[in-house]
Chains A and B, each alone.
Chain A
Amino acid sequence: MGEEKIAVSESEYYILKALNDKGIKKFKLEEGEKLIGIEKSKLASLLKLLESKNLIKINEKRIKVIKLTDKGRKVLEEGLPEEKLIDILNGKEIINIKEVKELLGEDANIAIGQAKKLKIIDLKEGKVLLIMNYNDAKNLLNKIKNMLINLNFDSNTEKDMLSRGLIKYDYVTETTVIVEENAISKVEILASRLTHEILAKRLWKNLKLREYDIASEPPTVYPARKHYFIEFIEELKDIMKELGFKETDGPLVEIELFNFDMLFQPQDHPAREIHDTLWIKDPRNYDINEMKDLIDRVSRVHERGWRYKFNQEISSRYVLRSQTTSVSARLLLNKFNPPIRYFTIGKVYRSDVIDASHLPEFHQLDGIMGDHNYTFKDLLGILKEFGERLGIEIKFKPGYFPFTEPSVEGYAKINNKWIELFGAGLFRPEVLEMAGIDYRVGAWGMGVERLIMARLGLNDIRQLYETNYDFLRSFKLR
């Protein structure tokens, strides 16, 4: 195509197309709305645009029209003064001018003047007399009135009406639109976006989409977001499930029996003192009488192992659980048939002052697995596997926990640094004895926060609890 096309908007194109389809070359603007189906004011401005692109011509012509004046409108409502006059004369034939003036007021003169001119009345010695048959007079006046209604006069009447101020002349512009030859073939649509209208009206073939400055910044939009921390916890749950662990849960407000005693933590252990354990105000104790057998067993094992006097009142005290191993301790009491694998992820509480790396509550993952021939090598195996599935290298160090032996601390290589990640071990025979279990059980517990912070590159634990809407919605994944 040698010739440059003229760019038009989709609405402009639509007008040209409608006219072309109907074979219209010329039309009056006021007919346009009907012809094209676009509202008049919008159409006018679109036509101006088309004219500016030399696709149509708009011719304007001044035309004189007759219009009713206010006075004329009033006369049509109330009747012509000469009509009123003949109504007065009807049946009287003669009447004093003076009387006419009283009855018609300021209309009297014009009524008399017009009626005389039409030879309906005559004047004699100060008196008005009807000289035409009333009905004929009425007909004549109706004819005149109809002219006024239709604004279509003979030339005399038109002059009369003009001089009486019942009508006036006005000028209007008549706009004729002439479509240029082959306008439709000279254009293409330039659109900012595809629209339903373009597609529905099948305009797209003649469409040119406006090109964007593709590198300019778009407006910012945010998605609704799942919380990155919870997403990580769910990821951990999936890993545990894949490793064959069943998820369980336990209470946040625990009793010391399960949080400490069952885990062979001596009752005078420093971790059980006021600075490290959070108790609740009310109620302070749980009624442990229903667990008498268990308490007796626990008390016996403690007294033998730690050589002190076991205090049942301490066992019954409520604490905010300090480790999710309390869930595992409860679980052991179910005496499931081995092999077993269970896990839990939940909140635990510590008496920590808040800073960039401490909060009074955080999450722990706790897993236990057991079987009759379960070995330390099996424990290390699952820990290694867990690390691999998380994508981290793990190394082991001997450790100390009151409830496991041998005990392991797991270190993870994160950003080229070994950080302590979890504690693990085989439950001590004392723990199994308290639970009444005759197979070996491995256990491990892990703080979740440290790992997610390392993964997300956060350096302040408080960012895990940030509630700022824009921060949450614009949070970048790693």
Chain B
Amino acid sequence: MLIAGALMTLPLLAVFAILAGRRDFSHAVVYAGCFVASVALLAGGLQYLGGHSGSPSVVLPLGLPWIKAHFRIDNLTALFLLIINLSAAAASAFAVGYGGHLPQRRRVTPFYPIFLLAMNLVLLADDAFTFLVAWECMSLASWLMVVSDHQDAENRRAGTVYVIMAVFGTFCLLPCFGLLAGAGGDYTFEAMRLRELGALGSFLVALLAILGTGSKAGLVPLHAWLPLAHPAAPSHVSALMSGVMTKVALYGMIRILLDLHGELSWHWGAGLMLAGGITAVLGVLYAVMQDDLKKLLAYSTVENIGVAIIGLGLAIAFKGDGQKELAALALVAGLYHMANHSVFKTLLFLGSGAVIAATGHRSLGALGGLLKRMPWTGAAFLVGSAAIASLPPLNGFVSEWLILQSLFKGPAMPHWAMKFGVPVVGAFLALAAALAATCFVRAYGVAFLGRPRSDAAAEAEDVTFGMRVSMAVLAIICVVMGVIPVTVTDALTHVVRPLTGIDLAVSADLGWPWLSPVSSTRGSYSATILVMFGLSLFAIAIFIVHRLGTQATRRADAWDCGHPEDIPESQYTGPSFAQPLRRAFGGTIFQARESVTMPEPGDSSPATHQVRMIDPIWQGLYVPLGKVVDWIADHVNRLQYLTVRGYLLMMFGTLVFMLLVVAVRQQL
């Protein structure tokens, strides 16, 4: 009942925040309360993850009188409770020092506990009604925090786009659950699992579920709101939206597609996999071009969601094909990546929050040299960057390794679409991983290394102790999840067992530290051994160097091939770092055009270099869509000026149409 208690506390905190919002200490109190509640929920998740305590459910007389609210904790819920509340705890702890100093803090603090509560309720919901209400609350609470800084026109635009996409998502999920519930109208998940869907129903449910949850997760082309909305919120909220809310969306996708939906054909898996691949590559290409640190992180979220969806799609395809073991492996890989991403993305967003708190800037062009000024934040951000760049021995690499291993088994499926699709998706995934490394070398190198590009960056001070600790804990978790992967995958096998119906052995016959799914001759990876081996080689290298050579070191000015420049503007900047990639990829995808204007001889004005890029998805999909909506609105507008008879005719027509539908349905 730890969980129930924690959940009760959250609305109380929200009320407190509203009542006591004027007092400065109240923010710290609320965030501290949220931290405690998250830790309690974390402990609750951990307790149920083993699956030994069964899957308790509870029915509460909430909501509509004839539909009670059902809650249940199974392994999947427990895992996501863990993922979500880990990041939530870190973000709340960070916010104790951070949230009280925001300009619009009173517009953020009350909604923060509500947001946490709603996300947890989505996970715990065991009927469609509760699920949707919680889902909507989650969207609204986060929307309110996105528009908290409403003086900025950009934030208002982000809020508008976000609310439209959130409504779109719910609009898809409503009929999806309606179809799952069927004519009987039993909205509990239990009843949905037992229902047989027809061919058309099955198709529609899958499509609507993917659209509804995919739009929340940021699946291309439904991602447009994400890079606008996530950076607009205060950093600790961005961390939750990017690191956590997208996971809630993926939870919804898994719950509907793999649990509620009985039999899904492999086609959906193939489609999802391809969509995931495209999402990953496009997301990271956008990310590598960004100059705003938080926007870069938001686009990188799109990439990582794509990677996780590749794993999910593969799992669905394998399951549809009856290859349960591989389905379990792919699902473990996908879930591992979701857990990883929530840890390192939260870490990176908190790091960006620390940078903003210290310098007031979030544009890479105004940062630089922060590692020396902010050693703690710098070190934690480095761990996060290396993890997201999927470098061993950190956690990002483990999930990438698992996804690649299951992808490499994809051609074993007898369908030609999979045989040709899997290598292409493999190339996408590999490209995305390599570009992510580039993206974070760039972000880290420009923001934390080199020389400061502004006075604010030159005088930055590291953040408070609590903020540092919350980042450090996340960084340590990144390392731990990377170094002992088998422990994590063992826990994940409990989650995938009920979904795929098989017990996966992730360390087949080599034993504990060896990750070798399927069989030991298939390929294995052991971060534990590699780290020990690597550290000893590192020590040997240092020993030999210091034994054979001198240790003398001298500090001097930079050499820079003989002509060092004192001004920090001579350094490579974010745009200049991205220039080769922009030339290689941007020309066709983003229509990137560069133009240089040189002043006339004798004119002392500086030369300018301009880059123009367009967002192909925004220009190609959303702008035309907006025009269509405008056009329809213009024409529907006429209905406002009908005569009384006209209105009656419309009502009559609608009634007759409905009756016709009923009549036809009865005939079928």
Q: Do A and B bind each other?
A: no
Residues of B within 8 A of A (CB): none
